[in-house]
Each structure stands twice: as structure tokens, then as C-alpha cells.
Amino acid sequence: MDELIAYQLERAVIASTHQAKDQLQARVVLDRLNGAMQKVYRDKVVAAEVQGENLALRASERDIQEAWGNLIDNAYKYCAGSIQITVSKNAQGILLRVEDDGPGIADASHEQVLQRGARLDTRAPGQGIGLAVVSEIASRYDGALAISRSKLGGACFDLVLKL
């Protein structure tokens, strides 16, 4: 928890002065995050498919890892066994789509899950701040986070960042 608080304070300082920019490769970051999640959820059988180009990104590595990592972690946590992770570039910027075959999120709860401390599922561990942080990072990069129903049957998160 201390690390999380320190990170949030550091983000506030960076946001108030300037935005740190690192040169990143999208697929490298995604493959690293997916590999980490496979280790965290090693007791769960998950077929995770990562698709997309290895796009060059210029952004804070910590922001990207925090935002993308939260979405991928949630997919692993709530999926029944399948996840699709896709990165692409469109007119709005860099799009990360994370889909799973879990229970999904009811339309009426989309706004609620983006609030700090909000949790729909109290059985799984968590603090209820992950999606709020993702939404804040999206705003910082003039982007957006959208929630919908996945073609896999669960949740679909579209995170667009203008990079």
C-alpha cells in the first residue's frame, strides 16, 4: 500500500510540472505485462491472445504499465478462461482493447466502476481504485476509457491515449 501511495504522489508531482516521456514499444510492454499476469494467475488456466503491431509510443512507462496492467489484471481476475488483448492505432490515438469471457459489467454500473473505491465484486481481492486510475491516466493523455460487452461474453475495455 505504501508503494501505491508513493506512486500516486509521484504521479501528482509529475502531472503538475511536466509529463515524463519514455520511448516504448507497445507489443514489448504488452508481452511483458501478459507474462507477469500468467505468473500471478498460474493456478488459473487462461488462454490469453495478444494481437497488434509493435507501435512506438512516447509516454511515461509507469503510466502505460499502470493503465494497461490494471486492465489486463482485471481480465485475468474475472475471465472464465479466455482473454483477447489488442493494440492498434486509429484516428483518436493508440487503442488498447482488453476483452474477457467473464461475467462482464452491467451497463448501469459502467460509471460506478470508474469511481475511486467502487467495487462490484467483493469476493475478489482489490482496493477499487484500478479503473479510476486508468480513467485518470486516459484523461491525462487526452484519451478515454470505454466499457462495453465483449464479443467473448464478458467485459470489453477500450483505452484510447493520444500519443
Q: In the chain, where are the structural domains located?
A: 23-161
Would the pLDDT of 126 be above 60?
Answer: no
d(CA 72, CA 90): 21
Average pLDDT of the residues in 7-19: 54
Contact between residue 139 and residue 71 where contact means Cβ atoms under 8 Å apart: no
* CATH of region 23-161: 3.30.565.10
Beta bridge partners of 143: none
pTM given for the model? 0.83
Average of per-residue pLDDT across 94-112: 90
Q: What percent of the chain has pLDDT over 90?
A: 69
Asked if 49 and 84 count as a contact pair (C-beta separation under 8 A), the reply is yes
Angle in degrees, CA 20, 33, 57, rounded to 5 = 40
Cβ-based neighbours of 149, under 8 Å, separated by 6 or more: 104, 155, 156
Question: Where residue 16 falls among pLDDT bands split at 50, 70, 90?
Answer: very low
